[in-house]
Amino acid sequence: MPINKEKLALRDQETKSTPKFIRPESWRYKKLKTAWRKPKGVDNHQRKQKSRGRPGLPKVGYRGPKSARGLHPSGFTDNLVYNINDLDSLNPKEDAVRIGHSVGTKKRIVIVTKALEGKFKVLNARVNRDASKS
C-alpha cells in the first residue's frame, strides 16, 4: 500500500499534461529512434523554435511538483545508504533504503538485516542466501 497517495496522484496528473518530447526529425527518418536528443545544430529550427509544427523542447517549466520530487513509486522517499550509520537518521515510516552500488556482499547483508529490524523498506536488497549462511 503506497503512502503519500495525494503527492503521487498530483505527480501523475502533471505528467499527463506534459508533452511527449521526441527526437528532432525522428518522424522523418526510420533510422532515428524517438528517444529525446537535444538539437545542437547551428541552424536547427527546433532549437531556435523558429517554425510552428515542431515539437517543443524540455524546459524548467515542465518540472513536476516540488512536494512529489524524489518519491519512489511506492510513495517513500528514496535514500542511498552506504553503511549502518546512515540508517540512524532515517524514519522507517517515510523513508525507503536503497543500498549503494559499491557496497560489498558482507556489508550489504549487515545493512539489510539492520534495515529489516528497523522495519525499513529496502528497495534493492539483492542478498545471496548462500553468502548469508557463512
Q: What is the pLDDT of residues 103-121, one digit of tens each?
A: 999 999 999 999 999 999 9
Q: Are residues 46 and 97 in the same domain?
A: no
Q: Which of these three, 68, 85, 104, is where a domain ends?
A: 68
The pTM (predicted TM-score) of the whole model is: 0.71
Tens digits of per-residue pLDDT, 61-97?
Answer: 899 999 999 899 999 999 999 999 999 999 999 999 9
Q: Are 62 and 82 within one domain?
A: no
- Looking at the structure, do residues 15 and 45 belong to the same domain, yes or no? yes
Q: In this structure, how many other beta carbons lie within 10 angstroms of the beta carbon of residue 62? A: 14
Same domain, 19 and 64: yes
Q: Are residues 60 and 82 in the same domain?
A: no
Nearby residues of 57 by Cβ (< 8 Å), 6 or more positions away: 21, 38, 39, 46, 47, 49
What is the distance between the terminal CA atoms of the chain, rounded to a whole angstrom?
Answer: 35
Are residues 81 and 63 both part of a single domain?
no
Q: Percent of the chain beyond pLDDT 90? A: 72
Domain holding 81, by residue range, is 77-133
9 and 48 within one domain: yes
On whether both 88 and 123 belong to a single domain, the answer is yes
CA pseudo-torsion sign 69, 74, 78, 79: positive
Tally of domains in the chain: 2
For residues 98 and 124, membership in a common domain is answered with: yes
- Residues 98, 125, single domain; the answer is yes
